[in-house]
Structure 1
Amino acid sequence: MGRAVRVTVRGSFGKLSAEQVAALVAASAEHDFMNTQYTPEGYLAYDVPARPFFTFRFAEEVGGADEVPQAAVRAQIKAEEWMAGHGYPIKNVTVQAVDMAEVPLGKRGRREAARNA
């Protein structure tokens, strides 16, 4: 069974043209921070009128903990390629990968795990 990995790619937009800003604003309902999710293709969230930052969230399944760094690299490449493909300059990109198997369970999760054991 694989391990679920969540990768968050953050950065800021570079100098955008007025047309690019208008395009981002027009599509902003599809990229709302309030409805973010982790998806295999990546979920892009931003609020350009408020701040020039973006976040891409990716979900991936890997075979083992040693594959988590490669998942982070793949997500960064996907995010950068998407931005380049749409002509959006970006800068200050950071990547954070979380192996969900390593995340501590909360009280409810521990109770359910004990019930299923």
Structure 2
Amino acid sequence: MSRAVRVTVRGSFDGLSAEQMASLIAVAADHDFMNTQYTTDGYLSYDLPARPFFTFRFAEQAADADEVPQAAMRAQIKAEDWMAEHGYPIKNVTTQAVDMAEMPLGKRGRREASRK
């Protein structure tokens, strides 16, 4: 059985040129931090020029709990590769993975689980 893993990769843009900054600002509506989601390809959000930070959110899979760190590393590599492909220098990259199988069920989830 596969586990859903949500991976959040955060970092800072590092010394963007005026052209790079303008390019990112031009498509900022596509990367709105108020409309985030976890996707296989990753959802990039940022709030330039207010802050130099970015967040990528990835939906990954792991066969078991032991593979969660590998899922986190895959997501980080995807984020770093995307930034490099687009020529955006970055720094201070951190990654956080959440194994959704380990998340406690809320009231609705417990109610649905008790019906099964």
**In the alignment, what sits opposite 1:58?**
58
1:50-89 mapped onto 2 (5 Å cutoff): 50-89=50-89
Residue 73 of structure 1 deviates from its aligned partner by 0.5
Q: Distance in 1 between matches of 2:114 and 2:60?
A: 26
Note the C-alpha offset of 1:108: 1.1
Tell me how far 1:61 sits from its aligned partner: 1.5
- Which residue identity does 1:94 align to in structure 2? T
The percentage of counterpart residues that share the same residue type is 79
- With normalisation by structure 2, the TM-score equals 0.98
Partner in structure 1 of residue 10 of structure 2: 10
Cα distance in 1 for residues equivalent to 2:56 and 2:115? 35
List runs of 5+ in structure 2 lacking aligned partners.
Answer: none
Give runs of aligned pairs for residues 23-102 of structure 1, distance below 5 A: 23-102=23-102
Aligned length: 116
How many Å apart are 1:21 and its aligned residue? 0.4
Taking the aligned partners of 1:43 and 1:21, their CA distance within structure 2 comes to 19
Work out the CA distance in 2 between the residues paired with 1:85 and 1:61: 24
2: CA distance, partners of 1:47 / 1:75: 21
Shift of 1:4: 0.2
Counterpart of 2:53 in structure 1: which amino acid?
F
TM-score, normalised to structure 1, is: 0.97
- In 2, Cα distance between the equivalents of 1:96 and 1:67? 14
Counterpart amino acid of residue 17 in structure 1: S
- For residues 65-91 of structure 1, give each alpha carbon's deviation from its aligned partner in whole angstroms, at most 9, with x where no partner exists: 111000011111000010011111101
